Structure 1
Amino acid sequence: MRLMTKDIKMLAIDLDGTLLHDDMSISPFTADILKKAWTKGIRIVFATGRMFCSARAKLLPLQLGDIPVVCYTGAWTARLESQQVISQDGISPELAGEILAFARDREWKVQTFINDYAYMAQPDPLEQEYSQYRIRKTIYTGEDFYHPAETVTRMIIVEKNLQKRDNIRKFLEDRFQDRISIVYPERIFIDIHKAGVSKANAIGVLAARWGIRPEQIAAFGNTENDISMLRYAGHSFAVANAEPVAKEAADKTIGSNNEDGVAHAIATILKL
């Protein structure tokens, strides 16, 4: 793969397991490289499965201006500093209610996300599995949880048994077919979005606004919810700790998240 500095005008970067270390930190070296790229005029878009409020808390210290942040795997894009929402694309209350009815009948552990808040019917010990990704407390709404009145940005089902996890995914995909999109952002999580939602689509909208072509984008990721943007970008990189499906989708494998693989690759690509 021949990659020239002048070709790259945009960086699309996943957070957890890609840019962030395992302890959720961003190293001073990575922060410095990102700042240099931004100062050079490179468009930087962070694309994550996180809630916006959670991603914002991690990214504000980088001081990269009011850049767009793609959250909820593409369902929500907002500006980092001003918090201005650029786009939202969620699951209708009617469809969400159908899915939640199955979840209740089958006793699946499920959360919904509405207006950047997380909801559950009642507290559950499994919440500790994703507490590290949250900064807002979950809201418990009892029976009302199963009858959302607003658009649902995303649903997450948590299932530690991987065979059961796969069975749930197959059931939902067979039952709802082209009405939803499902990815595994982590081993035990099933993310459910409106059909058509992906990091690639959200990044593509921003790139089109800026007059940037796919071949002028470098993307970095580590898991299934990154595959769409890794395939969309003209130059794609999976960190060494990435899942096999992400490595297969990427052009090249780079150093791990704990080795600042993304920052080293950016420094090389842009000759920083």
Structure 2
Amino acid sequence: MSTTLGLPGDGEPVKLIASDLDGTVLGHDFRFRPRTVDAIRAAQDRGIHVVFVTGRPMRWLDPLRDQLGHEGVVICSNGAVVYDLAADVVVESSLFPARDAFAIMDEVAARHPGTLFAAETLEGVFVDRGWSRTDRMEVGAPRVGPLRERLPGQSGLVKFLAKLDAADPHDYFRSLTALVAGRLSVTHSVAAAPLVEMGQRGLTKARTLEQYAAERGIGPHQVLAFGDMPNDLEMLTWAAHGFAMADGHPAVVEAVGRTAPPFEEDGVAQVIEALLRRG
């Protein structure tokens, strides 16, 4: 598929590029590829605003600082936190009370014995004993122990997570989605892991990005977006120029219908370069 497919022609120019991080512009080694860095900087030099929209918590954005020198705002935790990287300040947050998570926790544990839980807050992460140290949520000295003992019911949560290492990732996600429906938002950002992420009801990356763009006078027809996983889907279909990575989740690729080349082929860079060539 052509990398220029779906790019704006003589109509409204692109004013904002919104991109997921992992699997889209960051590899498994958590590194940006040099061509991608050059393309992003070239877009910024042309006056195009760039914002990263990630499932990562705000405490785990070192690649943006260290490799890209990015000092702008980042939309974190699947849209729950808008974070000013330079000022180290939370600009906005969409939280939900821990008691809502506790009710769901009991139901999940009854249906899927052995499930472990974690809770992301603005102050850090709380995890059940046994939660894998290799999980990306573990960065930043987690507080270990039963969540009910560590978190008051009125505490505001950014994200609530459940995982069952022995489960089939697809079946586990589908089961928890049905169980939680209507109470919290449910998504996942690691295709091969039986890890389910829950946030405030109605929360998506797209919801926060839409508000962020509107505050700057930018509409969806002026947005170019990139992503690869189900937690990116709403964002990619909201933006007029949304691109799923060709090596991304098959359901996302099919739903978006417009692809950028795979990460290993500098797919995001190729699309941005094509955009800049068209002026």
Q: What is residue 116 of structure 2 aligned with on the other side?
A: 109
**TM-score, length basis structure 1:** 0.89
Q: Report the CA distance shift for 1:265/1:238 in structure 2 as closer, same or farther (over 3 A).
A: same
Q: What is residue 179 of structure 1 aligned with on the other side?
A: 183
Q: Report the CA distance shift for 1:28/1:134 in structure 2 as closer, same or farther (over 3 A).
A: farther
Deviation of residue 217 (structure 1)? Answer: 0.4
1:218 to 213, 218, 224: 224
Q: What is residue 262 of structure 2 aligned with on the other side?
A: 256
Cα pair 1:121 1:141 within 8 Å, conserved:
yes
Q: What is residue 19 of structure 2 aligned with on the other side?
A: 13
Cα pair 1:47 1:71 within 8 Å, conserved:
yes
What amino acid maps onto 1:77 in structure 2?
Answer: V
Q: Report the CA distance shift for 1:34/1:168 in structure 2 as closer, same or farther (over 3 A).
A: closer
Q: What is residue 98 of structure 2 aligned with on the other side?
A: 93
Partner secondary structure for residue 15 of structure 1: coil
Cα pair 2:126 2:142 within 8 Å, conserved:
yes
Deviation of residue 15 (structure 1)? Answer: 0.5
Cα pair 2:125 2:138 within 8 Å, conserved:
no
What amino acid maps onto 1:138 in structure 2?
Answer: P
Q: What is residue 84 of structure 2 aligned with on the other side?
A: 79
1:244 to 222, 240, 250: 250
- Greater Cα shift, 211-220 or 244-253: 244-253
Q: What is residue 209 of structure 1 aligned with on the other side?
A: 215
Q: What is residue 138 of structure 1 aligned with on the other side?
A: 142
Deviation of residue 59 (structure 1)? Answer: 0.7
CA offsets 1:53-103 (integer angstroms, 9 cap, x no match): 112x111132233x2211111111111211221211122122022123335
Deviation of residue 134 (structure 1)? Answer: 5.0
Mapped partners of 1:118, 1:161: distance in 2: 23
Aligned residues: 266
Partner secondary structure for residue 178 of structure 1: coil
Cα pair 2:25 2:33 within 8 Å, conserved:
no
Deviation of residue 21 (structure 1)? Answer: 1.8
Cα pair 1:101 1:146 within 8 Å, conserved:
no
Deviation of residue 164 (structure 1)? Answer: 7.0
Greater share of helix: 1
What amino acid maps onto 1:21 in structure 2?
Answer: G
Cα pair 1:34 1:263 within 8 Å, conserved:
yes
- Structure 2, unaligned stretches of length 5 or more? 1-5
- Identical residues among aligned pairs (%): 25
**TM-score, length basis structure 2:** 0.87
Deviation of residue 43 (structure 1)? Answer: 1.1
2:63 to 47, 58, 65: 58
Q: Note the 1:145-184 alignment, pairs <5 A.
A: 145=150, 147-163=152-168, 166-167=171-172, 169-170=174-175, 172-184=176-188
Partner secondary structure for residue 157 of structure 2: coil
Q: What is residue 3 of structure 2 aligned with on the other side?
A: none
Q: What is residue 206 of structure 2 aligned with on the other side?
A: 200
What amino acid maps onto 1:4 in structure 2?
Answer: G
Q: Note the 1:220-235 alignment, pairs <5 A.
A: 220-235=226-241
Cα pair 1:121 1:144 within 8 Å, conserved:
no
Partner secondary structure for residue 127 of structure 1: coil
Partner secondary structure for residue 119 of structure 2: strand
